[in-house]
Structures are given as C-alpha cells and as structure tokens.
A and B are shown apart, each in its own frame.
Chain A
Amino acid sequence: MIEKIKAVEFGLLSPKVLKKIASVEIDRYDLYDRDGYPVEGGIMDPRLGVVDPGMRCRVCGGGVGTCFGHFGYIELARPVIHVRHVKTIYSLLRATCEECGRVLETKEELKKKDSPLYDLYLAKRKKCPYCGAKQGSVRLNKPYNFTLDKKPLTPLRIREWLEKITAKDLEILKIKGGRPEWLVITLLPVPPVTVRPSITLETGERSEDDLTHKLVDIIRINQRLKDNITIGAPDFIIDDLWELLQYHASTFFDNNLSGVPQARHRSGRALRTLSQRLKGKEGRFRNNLSGKRVNFSSRTVISPDPNISINEVGIPEVVAKELTVPITVNDRNISFLRAMIRRGPSAIDGANYIIRPDGRKKKITEENANEIAEEIEKGYMVERHLKDGDIVIFNRQPSLHRMSVMAHRVKITPWRTFTLNLCVCAPYNADFDGDEMNLHVPQSVEALTEAESLMLVEKHIRSPRFGGPIIGCIQDHISGNYILTKKGTKMSGEKAIQYLANLGIEKRVKNEITGKGLFSHLLPQDLSIRFKSNACMGCDECKKEKCPWDLYVSIKNGKLKTGVIDSKAIGREKGLLLDFIEKNYGSGEARLFLDRVSKLGIRFLMEKGFTIGISDQDISDKAKKDIEKVVRKVEKECMELIGKYRNRELEQLPGQTLKESLETYIMKALRKVVDQASEIISDTLPENCAVVMAKSGARGSMLNLTQLAGCIGQQTLQGERIHRGYKNRTLPHFKKGELSPQSRGFIPVSFKDGLNPFEFFFNAMNGREGLMDKSLRTRKSGYMERRLVNALQELKVEYDKTVRDDWGRIVQFFPAEDGIDPSKSEWGSIRIENLVESEIGD
C-alpha cells in the first residue's frame, strides 16, 4: 500500500538547497543545435528530465512517467526582487533598522501583538531603539522598485540589509519559512522540462512552452548583463539591463502585474507564466487538482422508461460491453468467470481483460479466449462486462445537491441511450430534450458497498433540504391516480387483475372493484393515515371523512376509505402518504410503492385516455360575459383613479409620490381582475383533463387555465406596469402621457381569444424579462453555492456529537440545536400526533 501523505510543508527555497537539488547550471540561450538535439547547458538540457517516450533520464535513469524531471538553475549576474514577495520585503524594510538590521521595537512590546510585521509596517519608527541610527523612509514604487529617502534602493543593497536581520528577530516577526534574503533572487530555479514540454507540430516544427520562452529571455538578458559588467560598461547601461532582467524575472513569476506591460509571445498573445498556471478556474488548482478525470465512466443521452424501477438505470449493450468490473478469481467463482472469458469481449456478459497476479494486463480476444480461460487461477483478476444488478453511479450536471449523484442498479437494454424512471428526473433536474448524463462504475469492493448502502436512489427519497420526499410521482402519475381513486371509478375484476399483474402483484379480486379498492392493493396491510388532499377546498369547517367532494383522504389498515389520491399524497415535495411509508416501512417499501403507484397511474391513463384540446378551455357565454363585466368595471375604476390623479385628488400613500401611489392603486385593482376571472372559470369549467391536472397538482394551475380561457391580466416589467418604450408612451398606438390599463400592458383578453399586436408585444416583453432573469440568476446562485460550500465544507459531526470546523473549534455543541438530521426527519420534526393517535386509537 502507498504510504499516506501526512503533511505538506511550505517554505522558501535557499540558493544553497537549490544548488544541491539542481542537476545542471543553465547558461546558454540556444535550445537545440543544428541536428535538433538539445544543447547542453541550454534550457532544454537533457539533464532536466525526459519528455520523449523511449528516452532514459541521464540523471536518474527513469523513463517518461518514472522520472519527474530535475531542476536546473541560472546564476543571475545581479540579484532581483521576487515580485510575489514584494510586500513582505517592503514590510521587512520598514520594520527593521537600516544600520543594524534589528527590529525597530523592543521585544516586550512585540510579544503582545498578533501580527507584529504588519503592525511595524504601519508604525513609522524614526529611530532604532538598539543602535540609535536614524531611519530613512523606505518607499515602494509598484511593482518592484524600492527607494530609501527617494534614492533608489537596489536589490543588492536590499539583500545586504535583509541579511542583517537576526534569527531571533525573525522568530518574533513570525517568519519561519526561511531567511528573508532568499526573497531576493540570486539563483533562479529552472523548472524541469516535464513542467514545460515542447510540442512537435504536424509540420515537424517544434513549438516551445511559454515558460521556456520566458526563460530564454531571462538567460539572454542575464548574459548581456554579465558581459557588460565584465567589460566595465558605464553604470547607466548596467542599470538598464538590470531593470530589464528584473522585468523578465518578474513576468516569469506573474505576467499580470499592474503597471508592467505583459510579456508577449511573437504572435502577440500574452504569455501564461507561473502564477497564471495556478490561478483561477482554468488553473492547476481548480481544473486539475480539485477536478479529477476518471476511467470506467460513460456519457450519453438519456431517455425515459416508466417500466424500470427508480433504483435502476437502463444501459445500452454497447456501453455494458465497454465498462468493466474487476473480479478477483477464487475457488467459488472460477468456473463462472471462465465461462465469461470464453464468451469473449464481443458477447454480452463477457469479459475484456485479465490481470495476472504480477500486475500484467492481457486483453481477451476471440482467438485467445479459450486459452486465457484455462490460464486463470486463484489470484488473477478478471475485468468482466457490466451485467444486470451491478451498482453504478449516475450523475447529471450541474451537481447542485447530493441527489445529483446517486447509485443505480444496472439493467442492460438493447437501446442506445441511458434510460431512467421518470420519478428520478426531479432530483437530477433532468428532462429528455437532449440531456446527457454520466455514469461511473465503482472498481473496488469498498466503493461498491458504500455506493449500494449509502447512495442508492431509494436512500435519497427523503431530501435533507426539508425532510420530505424529493423523489415522488409527477405529472401523469398523479393525474392517473387522481382519476382512478375518484368517486365512481369502477372496473371489472378481470381488468383489475390485469393492472395488478402489470405491477407484479398476484391477488384475487372481486368481480367488480372500485378505483379506491384497486389502489388499496398497493398499500401495506396495516397502514392508517388521514390527511386533506391537494384539491381540498379549504372549507371553514372540515367535515373530514364526510367531505362532500370526497377530498379528505382516510386510509385504515391498508384500505383507502375516502378521498382522492393526488399530489398531496404521492407527489414530490408534498407526498404525505409516500413520506409516511418511507418513515414507517423503510425505503425499500417506499421504492416499491413508488414504482407501483407511478406505473399504475400511467397504465390507467393509457387505457382510459387522457388528452387536452382547445375545446377544454371553452367557457359558457355567460361566464365570458361575466369576465368582460369584471374587466369593464375595473377598467372604469382605473380611469377614475387616473382622473383623480390628474386633478390631484388622489390620496397619497406614505412614502410614495403621487404617481407611485397611483401605480400601486391601479396594480391592486387590476390584480382583482385575474382573481375574479379565475373564480368564474373554476366555477364554470367542467372537470375535464386540464382541470384534473390543475386540481390534482399534476401540472399547471387554475391561473394557467384562466389565462387561456378568461383573461391574461397585467404584464409587468420589474414588478411595475410597462412604462418604457417611446417618449411618454409605451407604443405609438397610444396618446402621449396615457396611463390607461390597456396602454400600460394590461391584457383583458385570453390567449384563446387572441391578442392584438401591442398586447402580444407586451406579453413578449414580460417573457423576455423572465428569460433574462433566469440566466442571470443561475450565474449568481452558482457563485453563491461555491462560496457557501467552500466556507462550510470542513464542518462535520464528530463522535461526541459536536459540529467542529477545521481548527477543531466547536461550532455547535449539538448539531442544529436539537440533533435531528433533517434527511431522517419528518419535515424537520417528529409527527407526534401520528404517534399519539396510533397509540391511543380513535
């Protein structure tokens, strides 16, 4: 087993250590000689590591993959400042004496402080308490030039200064990474070639990495500086070259310094140097270290399959033959593994590879299948195909919550897409308009067991967000069960047996059975629960079981006595019945129930027929007139308000201008229209398919129907009536300064009546705002999620039931105050009433 990494230490690299670890000194700026071989002492020196396959490293003897490369170094003719440490250097210069290098404060004072370096940086000391020397003012000219009393302070002098700081003082200043003079670079490390591999283009030309380009620049300037110093060139030439060297060394570390032009490639593209490689979303940290690439995974389009369990996922044969599970050969499984190998890699339920005990992998082909089958013995591993019942991990991005990654059981299908049960669309937030999903096959026994016992879909029916079922019936499942359990639904025993057989229930049924009776067969025998259905009218006094509309659900000992089953019973985020079963009978039972209920709903609807058409929104002439009346009345009301406003008779609301008050009044009045139209429509519409969907909570609402059949109502922009467009009016169809409802986005007609051009335009404005809002929101909330997760990810519950952070500090003595895990709770609490009731009986 690989030894675990226990800690990572950070520190400064000293020139001495660098010289020791470096394999070569680099002093030539040409990369390759005429024959195309790397130049010794050049930046691509072979002693810096190997990148070409088949080559051996001259230093360690390793090949590609085993030799990670070796550092080299450049001896700089003059030292330069490390740009990323400029601030530390600045603080140090301000905190220490220019004469004796001691800290400009007595020890006792400093011990009291949390961050002595920063405090000293802020405090301006004029005199050294040790040697009494007067202190000049050190200034930093960003990004890397220092001055002392307005005279330039060269890196050479800075280095000498920093050398004077004693080890004891450093301890006080809490600098423990190394000597401060190492912040001024004398030996520049040259990263191994493995860090900056060159790419050979199709034309045979070699294209070098950005870092290599930068290093070439540094060496070239360094060489010139060296030459000039040896020939004793005038100071200003040396200073210029020094400055240039500083620039190149700085951009080598960070090519995004403010006040410094970016170093560019020949093509004009800015170079991606060390800092840029680490930073940001595409940087090393977030792209390569936090995010891993994996094998044994697959991705395709998804499609629905109502006939498989929520725990299952349909996997195409092609995929199943490609993805494998490693199995260790032992006495018991050897014969069946042999059979698998004999079937070969192209048959279903075959095998692709064997791994010998020494770790060598051998591919199984049609030709060698028999041979390999004979070869395997205890200790071999066989990578067999995926087969029915295997556990795989399924995921859809964006993975916003933990239910975005769940484990499923494999079901091999002859199709070409992943298929999944419709009930699990909700947690994945998936639909089938071309969505793709990812699938991973756990490779170790540990991973497999954990996936099965913790991540299986049925374990996630209850959401940790609110403690209710997040997986539940949707759309047609609900409509179907609603119609099935409605009063008056009856069917023959034969039919009922067919339905039940379809669900896998074998039971005797009477000659005639009600819908409620059929539904009862899905319930556990001893289940008793009572609640109001979604369609409940909310009467002042609930008559409970005697509800005249049959909207009070009462189940006793597994028999549905009264009430209809709708979204309140089985729907997602609401389903009380589903929730009850999950809590009291376990997640396995809940899964079974959900599988059956959803299938029953769809099957029933399929046979009964369920459709909507334009005639479903037909309303009587009387209703139409009633709605018109309401519209007229309110419009008149609004005109009166506008009249009052014009005469300045309108009562002003506190905190609002007169105009704002008018808008408030009008909005309030217009809101009434849709409300009243909605009432009229729900009274007049017969219970057709569209109404069934709205009432049962399957899809849509009465408001949607009202907009189709009655009146669309006010269109808003940012919560206000539409008021922008032309000067003083919304569209040129209206008079200037007009405030009437019609001109400000009120649509008195229904979608079925049809909209006139400007009404249509207002509606489109409203729609466009919604779209903009949505795209903006996803971005904002995405960043919020990243920040929240990052802030809270270290928190976990310890064995002593405290919640602690990464410092080991106790954040909560008892998790969430009462210790209840919402994902195990009943809507965040315990349903005491249910317990008491079941104990006492009625």
Chain B
Amino acid sequence: MNYEKMLSSSILSEKLKMDTMDCFEKYKPTQKQAEKIIKKIEETYIKMSYEAGEAVGVVAAQSISEPATQMTMRTYHTAGSVVKQVSLGLPRLIEILDARKEATTPIMQIYLDPEHNNREDATKIAKRIKETKMKNIVLEDVIDLVNLAIEIKLDTSYLKDLQMNKEELIKLFNKQIRGYDIKIEGNRIELKSKKEEVTIRDLQKIKLKIFDMRLRGVSGIEQAMVTKEGEEWVITTIGSNLRKVIKIEGIDPKRLFSNNIKEVEKLFGIEAARNAIIKEACGTLADQGLTIDPRHIILVGDMMTIDGEIKAIGRYGVAGSKRSVLARANFETTVKHLTEAAVNGNVDNLDSIIENVLINQVAPVGTNICDIVFKPKKSKK
C-alpha cells in the first residue's frame, strides 16, 4: 500500500508525517483505516496549534528560566571517564545567551571521512591539529649573561614526533626572529644578537617570543584526543579553530562541530549560527536532565539571529534594539534611552506590552489583540 502518497497531501508537518509513516509500517493498517487515522491526526494537529495572540515569547522565556533555577552552578565537569572539561549548566546557558565572542571552554568535534576512519589516521590528524609551541619541547633555557646569548635545549624525540628537521627549524627561526644569529648543534640552539648593544631585557623578550612560536598544528587547539563513538573515530579538541581545521585533509567537513557560536557564524553564516545556538542550548539543558520543549529554544535562537548577526539577550542586544523608547527605558540604562529619545524626537506608539503596562492601559496581547466594533441596527420604532 502506498502510505507515502496518502500522506503527501496532508497538512501535517514533516516530522509528523515521518512518525506516521513509521507507525504505519509497524501496524500495516488498511487503506480505509489509514485514511481515517490521518484524518484523526490532522484534527489533533489543528487542535494543538497556537492561537492568535499567544505571547509565545514570554512563555518561552519562562520555560527556559524556570527550570534554570534547578541547574548546577558548577562551571566545569569531567564527563565520566572520557576526559573533557566542558563548561555547563547555568553558566554555559548564560554564555550562549550572552553571545560571547569566546566560549570559556571551546571544543571541537572532528569526524573523519570514510577513508580515514581508523585509529592510525585519526591519531595522525589529531597530532597534526594539536598546537605545539616551542615551550612544549624546551627542556632547558639559559640566558648567557657574559656572551649575551640565549641557549635552549630541546627535546629531540619530540621534534622527531613532529617530523621536523633542523633546516625547517632554522627557517622558522629566521622568519620569526630577526636580527639574531642562530646556531643549532644537536639539541642545542644558540641565539646571538647581530647588534652590539643588547640589554638583558631584550633577551628576555626574545626568549618569550621564541617560547610562543608555533611549530606545528592549528593555533588555538590546546588538546586533541581521539575517541571512539560507536563505529567511528572522533577527534575531540580543546580549543577551536574552524577556519583552519576545515581545510585539513581527511576530515569530514560536513559534520565538523564547534561549540563556539561566533566562530560558526563567521565561517558558515547566520543560519548555521542559529542552529548552533539551538543545539548548544538544548544540549546544555538536556545535560542537566531538564525537559524543555525545543520550540522555546528555537524561538530564542530565531530572535537572536533575526538581524543577520548574533545579538545577545540583554541590554546591548535584543532588549536594547527595541522600537519602543519606554520599553528600553524600563529594562536598563533608563536615563540614557530617555535623553536620546528627546534629542531624536522619537515617538512611542505604545503598540507593545510593557509600554501599555507603564501607562496603565491594557496591553495588546492574548484576548486583547482584537477590538470589538459594534454597529447597532436602527431600531424599528
């Protein structure tokens, strides 16, 4: 029987159609029964729809923040035996809503394409991604005060791991540090200034610069760990840099994931950022064992991204860009909004909620979105 065809003309949402399909496959109703069932589902669906005037925003806000009182405050959590430190709970939720530029614990999940989906390749890629700085491989460092030179002892085995040779190292040094002579003997590096007058302070500065030199990997990625998720090998990183990682061969760019929403926005655009907000917020709440209908979070995500850029929930974001002067003044920075409104000669048309509350009028929501017009018929007297 062709259930699909029957469903295709129905008004149901895609998700419901799929669910119905699954159910039909399981129970195999006859044509007549199926028709009846679809009609019944449609009826229920219409009954469940929103009514005009419903203050969806307030309901969403309350639905999110009411259970937030029950969330943990603990910022970090070592999730089980898998070692990852993620900020979670209320602080993470606030971070998402604040649309911060940097997440406090940026994390990436890198999936691999089918050819590279094995342990060796995964570890190889993980090693390539992980940022290694000079300071990670330095064993010993000395500032020679007599000769005014810097001496650094390196962990050569580490260098081998990184597949770096002497020439490459010298090239790097020449590129990054100017005005110094570099000598490499075995695992020792010696730097001496070409200039005569060098102060110890200069040397200190240069030393720090050397320590901060990136040898391998992607900047910002502090850790890269390989774990197995079901059949797949996944690289989880601490630190995030989508722009660079996406170009690396062997990864699956379609499933590349970062919890840094601003970064997602920059690279993939606003729609992706919206999805990231929704996914992250849903995940944070679900982690705490709180049941919240995703529709509420979707609304928040939509509101935050409606302008084509991420706006925070707060005085500099969504709440600060309201049309009504009074609504803005009521939230925060009261006087600023009022004085600005005076100079600009703004007019508040009182067509929203809080303004009407302020001046003691009934707000146009819910049962008050309509006016009643009464045309009395002339009585036949």
Q: Which residues of A contact B (CB under 8 A)?
A: 4-12, 84-85, 88, 174-178, 183, 254, 275, 278-280, 283, 285-286, 289-290, 292, 400-402, 450, 454, 464-468, 573, 653-656, 664, 667-668, 718-719, 773, 776-778, 780-781, 784-785, 787-799, 801, 803, 805-807, 809, 811-812, 815-825, 828-830, 832-833, 835-837, 839-840
A799 and B52 contacting across the interface, CB-CB below 8 Å: yes
B83 and A830 contacting across the interface, CB-CB below 8 Å: no
CB-CB under 8 A from A12, the residues of chain B are 342-343, 345
Q: Is B243 an interface residue (CB 8 A)?
A: no
B346 and A10 contacting across the interface, CB-CB below 8 Å: yes
CB-CB under 8 A from A450, the residues of chain B are 367
CB-CB under 8 A from A794, the residues of chain B are 57, 322, 327, 352-353
Q: How far is the CA of A785 from the CA of B24 in the complex (A)?
A: 43
Contact among B67, B94, B349 with A7 in the assembled complex (CB-CB below 8 Å): B349
Q: Say how far A54's CB is from chain B's closest CB, in angstroms.
A: 28
A789 and B56 contacting across the interface, CB-CB below 8 Å: no
Contact among B23, B69, B348 with A778 in the assembled complex (CB-CB below 8 Å): B69
Known contacts A795-B56, A816-B295; is A290 also within 8 Å of B357 by CB? yes
Q: Is B73 an interface residue (CB 8 A)?
A: yes
CB-CB under 8 A from B48, the residues of chain A are 820-821, 824-825, 830
B63 and A791 contacting across the interface, CB-CB below 8 Å: no
Q: Is B59 an interface residue (CB 8 A)?
A: yes
A820 and B27 contacting across the interface, CB-CB below 8 Å: no
Q: Is B277 an interface residue (CB 8 A)?
A: no
Q: Which segment, of B141-149, B259-267, B298-306, faces chain A?
A: B298-306
- In chain B between 2 and 58, which residues have their CB closer than 8 angstroms to a CB of chain A? 13, 15-16, 19-20, 23-24, 27, 29, 33, 36-37, 40-41, 44-45, 47-58
Known contacts A285-B329, A781-B69; is A822 also within 8 Å of B344 by CB? no
Contact among B29, B314, B324, B347 with A840 in the assembled complex (CB-CB below 8 Å): B29
Contact among A654, A788, A824 with B65 in the assembled complex (CB-CB below 8 Å): A788
Q: Is B256 an interface residue (CB 8 A)?
A: no
Contact among A88, A176, A776, A818 with B13 in the assembled complex (CB-CB below 8 Å): A818
A84 and B348 contacting across the interface, CB-CB below 8 Å: no
Q: How far is the CA of A349 from the CA of B232 in the complex (A)?
A: 74
Q: Which segment, of B169-177, B204-212, B332-340, faces chain A?
A: B332-340
Known contacts A818-B16, A819-B50; is A836 also within 8 Å of B345 by CB? no
Q: Which residue of A lies closest to B64 (CB)?
A: A788
Q: Say how far B156's CB is from chain A's closest CB, in angstroms.
A: 21
Q: Say how far A401's CB is from chain B's closest CB, in angstroms.
A: 4
Q: How far is the CA of A836 from the CA of B73 in the complex (A)?
A: 44
- Beyond the given A401-B66, A796-B55, A832-B19, could you list 19 further A-B residue pairs with CB under 8 A, ordered by the A residue number? A8-B359, A10-B341, A84-B335, A85-B343, A279-B335, A290-B354, A400-B62, A465-B67, A654-B83, A778-B69, A788-B97, A791-B313, A792-B57, A793-B61, A797-B50, A818-B13, A822-B295, A824-B48, A840-B27
Q: Which residue of B lies closest to A654 (CB)?
A: B225
Q: How far is the CA of A655 from the CA of B84 in the complex (A)?
A: 8
Q: How far is the CA of A816 from the CA of B19 in the complex (A)?
A: 18
Q: Say how far B286's CB is from chain A's closest CB, in angstroms.
A: 12
B291 and A792 contacting across the interface, CB-CB below 8 Å: no
Q: Is B81 an interface residue (CB 8 A)?
A: yes
CB-CB under 8 A from A806, the residues of chain B are 322-324, 327, 351-352
Q: Is B238 an interface residue (CB 8 A)?
A: yes
Known contacts A788-B313, A795-B57; is A6 also within 8 Å of B63 by CB? no
- 24 inter-chain pairs at a CB distance below 8 angstroms, sorted by A residue, are A5-B361, A8-B350, A9-B346, A85-B343, A279-B334, A465-B293, A573-B291, A654-B83, A719-B77, A777-B69, A784-B93, A789-B58, A792-B299, A795-B303, A796-B54, A797-B53, A812-B302, A816-B50, A819-B13, A822-B63, A822-B293, A824-B47, A825-B48, A836-B27
B contact residues, total (Cβ < 8 Å): 112
Q: Say how far A20's CB is from chain B's closest CB, in angstroms.
A: 18
Residue of B20, B57, B64, B294 contacting most chain A CB atoms (<10 Å): B57
Known contacts A466-B292, A806-B323, A809-B306; is A840 also within 8 Å of B44 by CB? no
Q: Is B326 an interface residue (CB 8 A)?
A: yes
CB-CB under 8 A from A668, the residues of chain B are 81
Q: Which residues of B contact A (CB under 8 A)?
A: 13, 15-16, 19-20, 23-24, 27, 29, 33, 36-37, 40-41, 44-45, 47-69, 71-74, 76-78, 81, 83-84, 90-91, 93-94, 97, 223, 225, 238, 291-296, 298-300, 302-303, 306, 313-314, 317-319, 322-327, 329-331, 334-335, 338-355, 357-361, 365-367, 369
A7 and B343 contacting across the interface, CB-CB below 8 Å: no
Residue of B62, B83, B319 contacting most chain A CB atoms (<10 Å): B62
CB-CB under 8 A from B41, the residues of chain A are 830, 832, 835
CB-CB under 8 A from B346, the residues of chain A are 9-10, 177
Known contacts A285-B358, A792-B61; is A465 also within 8 Å of B345 by CB? no
Q: Which residue of A lies closest to B306 (CB)?
A: A811
A-B interface, 4 closest residue pairs, ranked by CB to CB distance from nearest: A795-B57, A792-B57, A176-B345, A816-B295
Known contacts A402-B59, A465-B293, A791-B318; is A780 also within 8 Å of B52 by CB? no
CB-CB under 8 A from A85, the residues of chain B are 339, 343
Q: Which residue of A lies closest to B293 (CB)?
A: A822
CB-CB under 8 A from B37, the residues of chain A are 835-836, 839
CB-CB under 8 A from B94, the residues of chain A are 780, 784
Q: Which residue of B lies closest to A467 (CB)?
A: B293
Q: Say how far B227's CB is from chain A's closest CB, in angstroms.
A: 9
Q: Say how far B260's CB is from chain A's closest CB, in angstroms.
A: 18
Q: Say how far A157's CB is from chain B's closest CB, in angstroms.
A: 20
Q: Which residue of A lies closest to B237 (CB)?
A: A655
CB-CB under 8 A from A667, the residues of chain B are 78
A796 and B56 contacting across the interface, CB-CB below 8 Å: yes
